[in-house]
Amino acid sequence: MWHRLFLGIIAAAALAACEPVPDLSGPPTTTVRLAGAVTLTGPAGYCVDPVVTKPRQGFALLAACAAMTADETDAYPDMIALITVQVGADGSGAVAGQEDAFGAFMETPQGAALLSASAIGGPIAVRVTQTAPNTVAVYTEDIADPGISGTQKQAWRLFTDVRGRLVTITVRGLTDAPLSQSASRALLDAVVTALHSANDLPSSAT
């Protein structure tokens, strides 16, 4: 059941992003080098989607490795979600040393509008904002239906600077296996910890 469901959701994500539906017949990989020499490594049980991911554009989609193999009996991770990572342009870093101001901006109507413009699905509401050294995490809820069918309206987004670039990480659970706010935050922390470690940065996940 998980295999067919996850394939459908990944296909929907590809179509929503105007990308070809991925061919998941090849062996999955857990690491990719994105724009600006930013290295991304998936947390345990997660691999890099081989087609939707666009390294030169700084974009990566991480999903359960088991969804990317031909064997429907492969084990899925305990926490199942779609994870996206976007690396910004050179010099776009805006978090380190400005965490409180960045977080405060995310709570304004202008910040919510910016988040909505960068998301698939339309307007969102900001529910929680948390800051730590070189990280600002925002818990959001879609006002309308999410743009990718089968995913939750709630999502965590985290902003951090890596090699002078702003990196945005989004974790969104599935409607058939929804993640609680704390569970999706734990998965988000695993992603940012691996990201910082792969790029020789101190971890600041809370």
Count of CB atoms situated within 10 Å of the CB of 87 = 23
Which pTM was predicted? 0.84
pLDDT higher than threshold 90 for residue 36: yes
Average pLDDT of every residue of the chain: 82
Q: What is the DSSP letter of 76?
A: P
Q: Which residue has the higher pLDDT, 205 or 140?
A: 140
Q: Which pLDDT value is given to residue 21?
A: 39
Counting residues of the chain whose pLDDT is more than 70, the rounded percentage is 80
Q: Which region among 108-122, 131-145, 166-180 has the lowest average model confidence (pLDDT)?
A: 108-122
Question: How many helices (H) and strands (E) would you count in the chain?
Answer: 4, 9
Q: Which region among 37-46, 47-56, 100-109, 187-196 has the lowest average model confidence (pLDDT)?
A: 47-56
C-alpha span between 96 and 176 (Å, rounded): 36
Q: Which residue has the higher pLDDT, 185 or 144?
A: 185
Q: Does domain 2-198 have CATH number 3.40.1000.10?
A: yes
pLDDT higher than threshold 60 for residue 20: no
DSSP 142-199: ESS--SSTTEEEEEEEEEEEETTEEEEEEEEEETTBPPPHHHHHHHHHHHHHHHHHHT
